[in-house]
Amino acid sequence: MTNNTCGVAACERGSLIVLSGPSGVGKGTVCAALRRRSKELVYSVSATTRAPRAGETDGVNYFFKTKEQFQAMIERGELLEWAEYVGNFYGTPMSFVKSTIDSGRDIILEIEVQGALQVQRNFPDAVFIFLLPPSLHELRNRIVTRGTETEETIRSRMSVALEEIGLLEHYDYAIVNDEVEAACGRIEAIVTAERCRRERYIPRIKQWLEEVR
């Protein structure tokens, strides 16, 4: 998949693609497969206050920040979304997203549902995709086969998943993750379709019309 999918320079600006869905639906697996398939698609790098782990590189795995630096980013409105988890902060820097799409490249952000709703408030022009399981039974199966959850935790995760699925109306597209490669193909089709939206061509067409008057 290339950025010049519509064959005209009207597609100069990229898009922010936000992929989310309930825990256990396979967001990480789908994104890993997309990374292998679509070399031009940029993956959003989060900022975090946690310490780097062995082999992690600043600006590649995360943007590593002190808590003071992260707090300053919040106060300056520099994050599309952020959350605190187990004593550390995580968030999506707006500058990285904007510079990527301004360069003409598409960027994908894999995120939980509540984070996606934060992004929607701060960046409404993004394309929001909800990843669905083939069925609730299959979703429960995927959580169970992890082998790391107690029955109580499974029930809790399923309850949250039902609430999150109820928020589908806030998204532009829905994709069923029945088979990973098929789900990737559908996401790639959405990216292509978004690059061919009429609105992208209007400035160029207006320029053409001005030139011939």
Domain stop point among 78, 104, 130: 104
User: What residue spans of 38-179 are helical by DSSP H?
Assistant: 67-75, 94-102, 113-122, 136-145, 151-165
Domain that holds residue 66: 45-104
158 and 201 assigned to the same domain: yes
- Mark whether 21 and 57 lie in a shared domain: no
In terms of domains, do 212 and 147 share one?
yes
As for how many domains the chain has, the answer is 2
Chosen domain end from 104, 133, 151: 104
Q: What is the pLDDT along the chain (213 residues), one digit of tens a residue?
A: 445 556 544 457 899 999 999 988 999 899 999 989 998 899 999 999 999 988 999 998 899 999 999 999 999 999 999 998 778 999 999 999 999 999 999 999 999 898 999 999 999 999 999 999 999 999 999 888 877 778 998 999 899 999 999 999 999 999 999 999 999 999 999 999 999 999 888 888 999 999 998
Q: Do 84 and 10 reside in the same domain of the chain? A: no
End-to-end, the C-alpha distance of the chain in Å comes to 37
Query: Does one domain contain both 30 and 77?
Result: no
Tokens (6 digits) for 8 = 């005209």
